[in-house]
């Protein structure tokens, strides 16, 4: 089972070289060591190794994550190896200097912190196989030479590591500080509020009063509990106190002061406990980890295939033309798929296609805008009577032309919206071919030019069509003829001031004419009132214009039957596409 930890270590090294995208996509189980600068965090890590190797100082010394990979190896040889200097063996005494050198290299020599880790492997018969990440110590105040936002930077870095659900948090707290005020415990609660993956370590047992309630979890009930240890202080190091001597003093202290729980504390027990927890977490997540790596491999393999064959200066003209043709055909396919829905494999399912957006413009936006148009709104009966009298025999055509013309800006606005949608779609399709940005620019320029030219043609056609409808009040539409016949039966002759209005009729070509016999310029007396006949005439004009207006409205809307047919065909196409896939799968697995 111990072989699982080296496997994770190898993966960690591979991901570190691969880049942040893979490392962020695949989170490996790890133990992150969290503590304030004075908590004794470095001493705990050195206790796991059995020898001093970490830089020490008053300011932040650990300015980047240090991934410490301990490997139990039989024999007498003991050495260390950095991932950035693969193949070079370091003595444990040389590690501190290399950590400082590499840290300055990563941070640029400043006193800030960086996310780039240092990977250090330790091979020794005196360690348990284990991997821990030493994080920068939590700070409260900014000292000389440090960035003004150093507190926030450290917290952000620590947060990124301990927030990962497969990370065990090793929260180190000094025994001579009230546990309720522990910075590491309180910080860990931000990402582990239930305290299920936080293991507490209480240092400086020899410097503190009775800590039995703390170690028993009576003050803070961590699910993984607390482990108490003794530190080898800087003074001990200066005096030449060895790791074995500290372990002996630790055993004596635990037996004398914490007899009932002595076997569950101390540095050897901590190393064993961490090894067991890490193995358990790795074993639990290994199947999902294996599946995720394979899945990501397949995706990246497809990404590489999508990029196509690598283009080099050695490509022949023929190969270059072939490559260009492939790019253009691919763009054409993807662009068309945005409108007709076919070849949907390259379409983002979380976004509406251009065809769906344009369909919405026709079916909803245009229809809504047309429905908001109200013929003759704001036109009084007086204005209708003036138009009838002044239009010289073609009053109805005059008013129809005026009202139908109101449709023009609505229709042209629809053209603008469709044109904008088609232009936006170009950008959606271009990311499929990012190898040749110059080609992308050329494709975009050509397609925009084509769309712009056709937009002008479309606008001209739309304007001409509406002008034709507005200038010709002829209609053979049965709805209009029925409406006209009904109105003809309502009024036979209506008097208009002192000029008689003889009749309303239609000419031989089906044109509705409001004919005025001997018409001449006319204006209403502001003090006059309408007769019943004149009021009826105005209402007839309003009804006829509204009927004609609605007919033109329907002419520039897509028929419901066509819309329903389109929807049905789309559903059929989707079903046929799925059926094709099923058959293809069957062919691939059967001998036909």
Regarding whether 90 and 52 lie in a shared domain, the answer is yes
User: Higher pLDDT residue, 282 or 382?
Assistant: 282
> Is residue 315 in some structural domain?
no
> Is residue 304 in some structural domain?
no
Beta pairing class for 494-496 and 226-228? unpaired
> Is residue 325 in some structural domain?
no
Regarding whether 564 and 546 lie in a shared domain, the answer is no
pLDDT computed for residue 18 by the predictor: 64
Beta pairing class for 512-515 and 226-228? unpaired
The three-state secondary structure class of 503 is strand
> Is residue 413 in some structural domain?
yes
CA gap 405, 408 in Å, rounded: 6
> Is residue 320 in some structural domain?
no
CA gap 162, 65 in Å, rounded: 12
**In 10 A of CB 458, how many CB atoms?**
17
CATH number at residue 75: 3.40.50.300
Whether the per-residue pLDDT at 199 is higher than 90: the answer is: yes
**In 10 A of CB 101, how many CB atoms?**
10
How many CA atoms within 13 Å lie on the side-chain side of 459? Answer: 14
Residue with the two structure tokens 């251009």? 354
> Is residue 364 in some structural domain?
yes
Last residue of a domain, one of 289, 308, 338: 289
Task: Give per-residue pLDDT as tens, 203-217.
Answer: 988 888 788 889 988
Q: Which domain holds residue 446?
A: 330-555
CA gap 334, 295 in Å, rounded: 25
> Is residue 59 in some structural domain?
yes
Regarding whether 35 and 119 lie in a shared domain, the answer is yes
Task: Give per-residue pLDDT as tens, 207-262.
Answer: 887 888 899 888 999 999 999 999 887 787 778 888 888 889 989 999 989 888 89
Regarding whether 569 and 464 lie in a shared domain, the answer is no
The first and second tokens of residue 409, run together, are 């800006």
Q: Residues 346-353: contacts with CB within 8 Å, 24+ apart?
A: 346/432, 348/428, 351/428
Last residue of a domain, one of 265, 289, 313: 289
Is the distance from CB of 307 to CB of 327 less than 8 angstroms?
no
CATH number at residue 447: 1.20.120.1240
Regarding whether 462 and 396 lie in a shared domain, the answer is yes
> Is residue 547 in some structural domain?
yes
Regarding whether 500 and 407 lie in a shared domain, the answer is yes
Regarding whether 548 and 563 lie in a shared domain, the answer is no
User: Higher pLDDT residue, 493 or 26?
Assistant: 26
Regarding whether 586 and 516 lie in a shared domain, the answer is no
Q: How far is CA 302 from CA 292, 299, 307, 308, in A?
A: 15, 5, 9, 10
Regarding whether 280 and 169 lie in a shared domain, the answer is yes
pLDDT computed for residue 590 by the predictor: 40
Is the distance from CB of 355 to CB of 339 less than 8 angstroms?
yes
SS3 of the chain: helix, strand, coil, percent, to 5: 55, 10, 30
Q: Report the mean per-residue pLDDT for the chain.
A: 74
The three-state secondary structure class of 491 is coil
Is the distance from CB of 444 to CB of 438 less than 8 angstroms?
no
Task: Give per-residue pLDDT as tens, 495-538.
Answer: 443 333 333 333 444 444 333 333 344 444 555 565 565 566 56
Last residue of a domain, one of 235, 256, 289: 289
CA gap 499, 47 in Å, rounded: 116
Regarding whether 384 and 265 lie in a shared domain, the answer is no
Lowest mean pLDDT among 119-128, 318-327, 354-363, 479-488: 479-488
The first and second tokens of residue 275, run together, are 């090894």
pLDDT computed for residue 91 by the predictor: 93
Whether the per-residue pLDDT at 558 is higher than 60: the answer is: no
Domain count for the chain, please give it: 3
For residues 114-136, give the mean pLDDT. 90
Taking Cα atoms as reference points, which of 48, 120, 105, 474 lies closest to residue 274?
Answer: 48
Is the distance from CB of 174 to CB of 204 less than 8 angstroms?
yes
Phi-psi region of 114 (alpha: psi -120 to 50; beta: other; left: phi over 0): beta
What is the gyration radius of the CA atoms in the chain, in angstroms? 42
What percentage of the chain has pLDDT greater than the value 90?
Answer: 20
Regarding whether 148 and 68 lie in a shared domain, the answer is yes
Q: Per DSSP, what are the bridge partners of residue 134?
A: 33, 66
Torsion angle of C-alpha atoms 239, 249, 263, 43, degrees rounded to 10: -10
Q: CA end-to-end span of the chain, whole Å?
A: 47
User: What does the chain come to in residues?
Assistant: 592
Regarding whether 501 and 406 lie in a shared domain, the answer is yes
User: Higher pLDDT residue, 319 or 308?
Assistant: 319
Across 544-574, b (16+ Cβ under 10 Å) vs e yields bbebbbbbbbeebeeeeeeeeeeeeebeeee
Task: Give per-residue pLDDT as tens, 270-284.
Answer: 999 998 998 888 888
CA gap 155, 152 in Å, rounded: 5
């Amino acid at each position: 089972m111990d072989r699982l930890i080296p496997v994770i270590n190898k993966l960690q090294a591979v991901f570190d070289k691969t880049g942040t995208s893979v490392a962020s996509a695949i989170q490996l189980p790890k133990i992150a060591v969290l503590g304030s600068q004075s908590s004794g965090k470095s001493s705990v890590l050195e206790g796991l190794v059995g020898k001093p190797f970490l830089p020490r100082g008053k300011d932040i010394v650990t300015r980047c994550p240090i991934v410490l990979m301990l490997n139990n190896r039989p024999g007498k040889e003991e050495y260390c190896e950095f991932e950035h200097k693969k193949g070079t063996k370091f003595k444990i005494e040389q590690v501190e200097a290399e950590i400082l050198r590499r840290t300055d290299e990563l941070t640029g020599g400043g006193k800030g912190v960086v996310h780039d880790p240092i990977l250090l492997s330790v091979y020794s018969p005196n360690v348990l196989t284990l991997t821990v990440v030493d994080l920068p110590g939590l700070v409260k105040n900014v000292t000389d030479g440090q960035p003004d936002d150093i507190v926030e930077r450290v917290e952000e870095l620590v947060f990124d590591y301990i927030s990962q659900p497969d990370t065990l948090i090793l929260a180190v707290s000094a025994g001579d500080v009230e546990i309720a005020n522990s910075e590491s415990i309180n910080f860990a609660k931000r990402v582990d509020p239930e305290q299920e993956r936080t293991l507490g370590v209480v240092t400086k047992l020899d410097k503190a009063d009775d800590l039995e309630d703390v170690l028993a979890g009576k003050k803070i009930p961590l699910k993984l509990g607390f482990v108490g240890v003794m530190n080898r202080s800087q003074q001990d190091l200066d005096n030449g106190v060895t790791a074995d001597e500290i372990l002996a003093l630790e055993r004596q202290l635990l037996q004398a002061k914490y007899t009932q729980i002595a076997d569950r504390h101390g540095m050897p027990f901590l190393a064993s406990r961490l090894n067991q927890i890490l193995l358990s977490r790795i074993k639990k997540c290994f199947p999902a980890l294996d599946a995720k790596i394979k899945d990501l491999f397949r995706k990246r393999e497809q990404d590489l295939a999508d990029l196509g064959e690598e283009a080099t200066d050695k490509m022949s003209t023929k190969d270059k033309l072939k490559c260009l043709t492939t790019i253009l055909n691919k763009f054409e396919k993807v662009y068309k798929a945005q409108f007709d829905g076919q070849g949907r494999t390259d379409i983002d399912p979380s976004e509406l296609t251009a065809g769906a957006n344009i369909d919405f413009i026709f079916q909803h936006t245009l229809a809504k805008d047309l429905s908001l148009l109200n013929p003759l709104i704001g036109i009084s009966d007086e204005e209708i009577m003036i138009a009838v009298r002044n239009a010289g025999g073609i009053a109805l055509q005059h008013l129809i032309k005026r009202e139908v013309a109101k449709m023009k800006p609505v229709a042209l606005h629809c053209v603008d919206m469709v044109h904008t949608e088609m232009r936006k779609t170009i950008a959606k399709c271009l990311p499929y071919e990012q190898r040749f940005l110059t080609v992308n620019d050329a494709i975009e320029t050509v397609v925009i030019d084509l769309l712009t030219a056709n937009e002008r043609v479309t606008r001209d056609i739309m304007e001409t069509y509406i002008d034709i409808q507005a200038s010709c009040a002829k209609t053979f539409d049965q709805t209009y003829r029925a409406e006209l016949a009904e109105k003809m039966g309502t009024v036979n002759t209506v008097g208009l001031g002192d000029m008689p209005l003889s009749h309303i009729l239609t000419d031989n070509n089906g044109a509705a004419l409001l004919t005025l016999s001997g018409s001449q310029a006319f204006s209403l007396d502001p003090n006059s009132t309408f007769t019943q006949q004149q009021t009826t005439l105005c209402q007839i004009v309003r009804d006829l214009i509204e009927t004609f207006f609605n007919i033109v409205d329907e002419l520039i809307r897509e028929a419901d039957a066509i819309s329903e047919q389109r929807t049905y065909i789309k559903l059929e196409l989707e079903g046929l596409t799925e059926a094709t896939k099923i058959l293809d799968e069957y062919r691939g697995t059967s001998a036909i």
